[in-house]
Structure 1
């Protein structure tokens, strides 16, 4: 199976496509990465170099795939950090072409725009194109709690509020919403998966870091899409994705790393050493 992935890329570390491609390959997928930016490292290190790719460049890359007749064999589209608002147009154009060639292709949009603490950290115009065009076009959306609150204007401080806000967001188009980074008390954190017919949560212990590694959400979205494309239902897909991510984070903490220990923890991708079951909420 093949996945087209629009995300950032870094030479050092694991965020964006540099976090998503290997886990999907480890699950058995061919991944076609289209890098929206190319940086030396994540800006969280305080300094970086590199630049943002223009929409014309992205369209040319996808056009090359189209010329080879590959889009009809694409089973999934993954989008994350855009870099510029016009990148959203390139993602939507590619998703439309893929769906025309393969109506069963699944589109997962990670609406990367901000987080608790820093707030919005993307260029002006990106939150708007996410809210008005990409989220409505997606089958699955994976916001963190800050992003879900921004997209809906509703509070997202606990699981019930997350379910309410997720169902509100679904009215714009997506069939599934997965909300990350939900504190549940007693040093636990949860991810919630919501459809029109049900809602489930997967809870894990909080892993404390001196400086939290970047890219965990990118890994989770990639794994979730992979498990859904393998035919797993949403609760099982969420459980497997969260369990694998927990194993990766535990290995990262054990090794004292600033960046995700993605390669060292690769066995957690194929078979998590600790399994967290989904619970109906």
Structure 2
């Protein structure tokens, strides 16, 4: 039994953090060993509030030790991390990644560097963003930032497609082998845009931007899990990227069709494996120092 260690937040109701990431990984054929950094009744954007608690970093360490004792770390092919509740939890991730890679040198570390989204009620503790930028992102094989998180990593503003290409290429020089930008919001007002960069290549994926009364929560966690699954299936980077865009859109579209706010991951589960709608990728190329994409 081979699997993925997923270290993220967890909600009892709805889909965010591990509650958004675990099932898609399972549906695509992988066992998941989830470790929760926090456990809340629901995600934090509810006006009614939420209940729950953050777990101490020692819990993560103890769970990892238990997995190591039964030989599970050598069966781990990827570590996927998302929202962290404290700097101490981030420090535990460094140890976990090192332990897993000793047991299984081919394992990959996929870091979704959640730095907070105040508009969604997501706040991270002091010091976490700095730790992500200086330690976790550089040591990751794959990073899955949004536009803001990427700009913080490379120290530049992103206001255009050309800026995005420059930022992605700069990020590749800081440690990661693959950069997947899960949301480039400055590229288009009416399309949802993502970008992938690897081996000095950049591709952009776009899909319809659906309107919701309130911003959806958990889409980034979904994208990270879908892309991780694609890599573990030994798909090419481009195929895994294309699939993550199409499958994520299928879940979002189903959510829109049903008039729901929580991601309808279960209702769209067949689309996670084989999305109905396909979207071509654009390859970013250089022409007189101007970056653009062409289908």
1:267 aligns with 2:266: no
Instruction: Choose which of 200, 204, 214 in structure 2 pairs with 1:201.
Output: 204
Contact 1:17 1:35 in 2 (8 A): yes
1:224 aligns with 2:224: no
1:164 aligns with 2:162: no
| Superposition TM-score, scaled by structure 1 size | 0.96
Q: What is the RMSD of the two structures over their aligned residues, measured on CA atoms?
A: 1.5
**In the TM superposition, what is the alpha-carbon distance from 1:180 to its structure 2 partner?**
2.1
Residue 279 of structure 1 is matched in structure 2 by 282
1:239 aligns with 2:207: no
1:10 aligns with 2:22: no
Corresponding pairs, count: 281
Residues 85-234 of structure 1: pairs in structure 2 closer than 5 A = 85-115=87-117, 117=119, 121-183=123-185, 184-185=187-188, 187-234=190-237
Structure 1: state its 5+ residue gaps: none
**In the TM superposition, what is the alpha-carbon distance from 1:275 to its structure 2 partner?**
1.1
Does the residue aligned with 2:260 lie in a helix, a strand or coil?
Answer: coil
**In the TM superposition, what is the alpha-carbon distance from 1:181 to its structure 2 partner?**
1.8
User: For 1:103-136, what per-residue CA distance to the aligned partner results, in whole angstroms no more than 9, with x for missing partners?
Assistant: 1101100000134857983111000110111001
How far apart are the structure 1 equivalents of 2:166 and 2:118? 19
User: For 1:253-279, what per-residue CA distance to the aligned partner results, in whole angstroms no more than 9, with x for missing partners?
Assistant: 011111001101111101001011222
Instruction: Choose which of 70, 73, 78 in structure 1 pairs with 2:72.
Output: 70
Structure 2: state its 5+ residue gaps: 285-295
Does the residue aligned with 1:259 lie in a helix, a strand or coil?
Answer: coil
Moved more, 217-226 or 163-172: 163-172
| Superposition TM-score, scaled by structure 2 size | 0.92
How far apart are the structure 1 equivalents of 2:25 and 2:68? 22
**In the TM superposition, what is the alpha-carbon distance from 1:163 to its structure 2 partner?**
1.6
How far apart are the structure 2 equivalents of 1:119 and 1:48? 11
Residue 58 of structure 2 is matched in structure 1 by 56
**In the TM superposition, what is the alpha-carbon distance from 1:170 to its structure 2 partner?**
2.0
How far apart are the structure 1 equivalents of 2:253 and 2:234? 27
Moved more, 186-195 or 59-68: 186-195
User: For 1:237-257, what per-residue CA distance to the aligned partner results, in whole angstroms no more than 9, with x for missing partners?
Assistant: 110011000000000001111
User: For 1:165-200, what per-residue CA distance to the aligned partner results, in whole angstroms no more than 9, with x for missing partners?
Assistant: 122222221011111222433611210001132011
**In the TM superposition, what is the alpha-carbon distance from 1:157 to its structure 2 partner?**
2.3
Aligned structure 1 segments of 4 or more residues deviating by more than 2 angstroms: 114-121, 183-186
Does the residue aligned with 1:114 lie in a helix, a strand or coil?
Answer: coil
**In the TM superposition, what is the alpha-carbon distance from 1:5 to its structure 2 partner?**
0.5
Contact 2:14 2:42 in 1 (8 A): yes
